[in-house]
Amino acid sequence: MSKTFEKLNPYLEKSMAIETALALLSWDMETLAPADSIDYTSKVVGILSGESFSSIVNDEVKDLLKQLNTEKEQTQLSIKEKAIVKNLTKSMEQMEKIPPEEYQAYSELTAKAQNIWVRAKKNNRYEDFAPTLSEMLTYQKKFIGYRQKEDENLYDILLDDYEEGFTTKELDAFFEQLKKTILPLVKKVTAKNDTIDKSFLYRNYDINQQKSFARYIAGYIGFDFNRGVMAESEHPFTTNLHNHDVRITNHYYEDNLESAIFSIIHEGGHAIYEMGVADDLTQTPAGAGMSMGIHESQSRFFENVIGRNPAFWEPIYDKLVSYFPEQLSDISFDHFIRAINKSEPGLIRTEADELTYSLHIMIRYELERALFSDEITVDELPSLWNQKYEEYLGITPPDNTQGVLQDVHWALGSYGYFPSYAIGSAISAQIYYHLCDKMPFEQYLKEGNLTVIREYLKDHLHKYGTTKTTMELLKDMTGEEFNADYYVRYLEEKFTKIYEL
């Protein structure tokens, strides 16, 4: 270890400890904490967040990073240390250029924005949220302006924050390709939609039975209960303290079996990724999932590529029926498989099926892109939103609650985040074809043997944490950088078969 890097260690350790405590508090607030605790606990979170910030953003660390970024020092760093220095330098650059008073004002605005959005969404009053959104966008443009290099597109800077290597150039091409291929496919599928019945998934399903099946299936796909726990929350999510403590949540509805099963497989995919990060990387800034896109590629790989595959259900469908004999005894295996793969254009992104999902993302991408290049204004968003839903999905939202106000992201200040979801879906398909080349993939699923698949993902992807970029991970694993052709092929093959097109 280089002498200079060694000096960085105490700062890293302190920051890691505070961040771990914060992760635990935030998990608790979402799952077990009593409702009245929020105000007081928020105070603790506020203080610890400040400590976490100053444990890294300070003159000593800044100096050390400056030295560590010199050519001489770089040659002495290990791969892990290089990744840590790169991550820290990036977040330092993001934060230090913003004047503290502006950052403070923006943080306060963001804290309020979420409440304003919740109320506006509930009351279907976009006009109540629009001024806040507009103010947040002005701040964001200003902040990224501080980091802008000549001629650089503002939105590209945001995109790169979430997904290194993906700019509007790559994403324009990606969505253009989806427009040409997926839109016609959606039309064909929609025309045959009444051939698939899925109403049985909305029968009455006992919540305790759902919970115990969710536990069974999480274990079946490889969620390790010695390193993880499962709880309930309003919206399912995954968080982790380190690779030996990964936590997932689920939400149960009495009249929806599909939601509980596929949410837990999705979160299980996120968790298996975090559990697979190498021991010597966890608890360092290089010890988490590489990016949001890679994370989603893993959750969607488990949820859709594996979880909606007939071969996956072949050995366990009878088990599911045994949990719900009253509701499922009259449902054949084929009927079940077709139902869980039914595609139907809808208004809500989070409820979208595998085929139409990326169209929801495309709409948000086009709007964000136009907002950041000042081609459109905040006031125009609702009508543009509705036009695009009509154009791509053939449906018009009846109100803004189910339209432009549906997602929390813009109220959180997360602009440039949405594309990662679609990138993740596309990557999951690329990985699927690679695995089919490498192993008898479907055969393993039929045998209920997910270990080989999981170990392969761990060895080629999970264990690396953030020491390889998205493109490097893909290139080293599949021999190719990001290639959306696989995604199109996957959707075409799959839905042609299900709908007998």
User: Looking at the annotation, which residues are catalytic?
Assistant: 267
User: How far does Cα 68 stand from its chain's mean position?
Assistant: 32
- Report CA dihedral (23, 26, 32, 34) to the nearest 10 degrees: 150
Closest separation in Å from C-beta 270 to Zn ion: 6
What's the rounded Cα separation, in Å, for the pair 170 and 156? 10
Q: Are strands 245-250 and 228-232 parallel, antiparallel or unpaired?
A: parallel
Q: Smallest Cα–Cα separation from 383: which of 115, 33, 130?
A: 130
CB of 130 to Zn ion, least distance (A): 28
Least Cβ distance, residue 423 to Zn ion (angstroms): 12
Nearer to Zn ion, 299 or 386 (CB): 299
Q: Which is nearer to Zn ion, 283 or 299 (by Cβ)?
A: 299
Residues near Zn ion (CB under 5 A), total = 1
CA 78, 83, 87, 89 torsion-angle sign: positive
Give ∠ CA 107-111-116 in degrees, rounded to 5: 135
What whole-number distance in Å separates Cα of residue 20 and Cα of residue 29?
Answer: 14
Q: What are phi and psi of 240, to 5 degrees?
A: -150, 150
Give 6-67 as a DSSP string: HHHHHHHHHHHHHHHHHHHHHHHHHHTS-GGGHHHHHHHHHHHHHHHHHHHSSHHHHHHHHH
Query: CA–CA separation, 157 vs 163, rounded Å?
Result: 10
Question: Which of these, 146, 170, 143, lies nearest to 156 by C-alpha position?
Answer: 170
What separation in angstroms does the CA of 241 have from each of 3, 248, 298, 374, 464? 28, 12, 19, 40, 17
Instruction: Give min distance, CB of 357 to Zn ion, in A.
Output: 12
157 or 427: CB nearest Zn ion: 427
Nearest distance from C-beta of residue 491 to Zn ion, angstroms: 19
Residue nearest to Zn ion (CB): 299
Q: How far is the CB of 215 from Zn ion (least distance, A)?
A: 19
Please state, in angstroms and rounded to a whole number, the distance separating the CA atoms of residues 266 and 456: 18
Q: Which is nearer to Zn ion, 270 or 342 (CB)?
A: 270
Q: Would you report the helix, strand and coil content of the chain in percent, each value rounded to 5?
A: 70, 5, 30
In the complex, the smallest distance separating the C-beta of residue 31 from Zn ion, rounded to whole angstroms, is 17
The overall longest dimension of the chain from CA atoms, in Å, is: 70
List the interface residues with Zn ion, window 293-322 (CB under 5 A). 299
**Nearest partner of 198 among 500, 498, 418, judged by Cα:** 498
- Nearest Cα residue to 232 out of 215, 212, 247, 251: 251
327 alpha-carbon distance from chain centroid: 32
Q: Name the residue nearer to Zn ion (CB basis): 250 or 299.
A: 299
Tracing tokens 């719900």 back to the chain, one arrives at: 324
For 431, 441, 461, the CA distances from 438, given in Å and listed in that order, are 10, 8, 15
263 scored as a contact of Zn ion (CB under 5 A):
no
Q: In 97-125, where does DSSP find H-type helix?
A: 100-122
Least spacing, CB of residue 271 vs Zn ion, in Å = 11
In whole angstroms, the minimum distance from the beta carbon of 447 to Zn ion comes to 27
Least distance in Å: CB of 268 to Zn ion?
11
Q: Cα separation of 208 and 254, whole Å?
A: 10
Which of 203, 205, 187 is closest to 343 using CA atoms?
187
Span interacting with Zn ion, options 93-101, 181-189, 291-299, 359-367, rule CB under 5 A: 291-299
Helices and strands (H, E) in the chain, number of each type = 24, 3
Nearer to Zn ion, 185 or 306 (CB): 306
Q: Which is nearer to Zn ion, 119 or 235 (CB)?
A: 235
For Zn ion, the closer CB: 245 or 267: 267
4/356 with CB nearer Zn ion? 356
Q: Which stretch binds Zn ion (CB under 5 A): 14-22, 43-51, 67-75, 292-300?
A: 292-300
Residues within the interface to Zn ion (CB under 5 A): 299
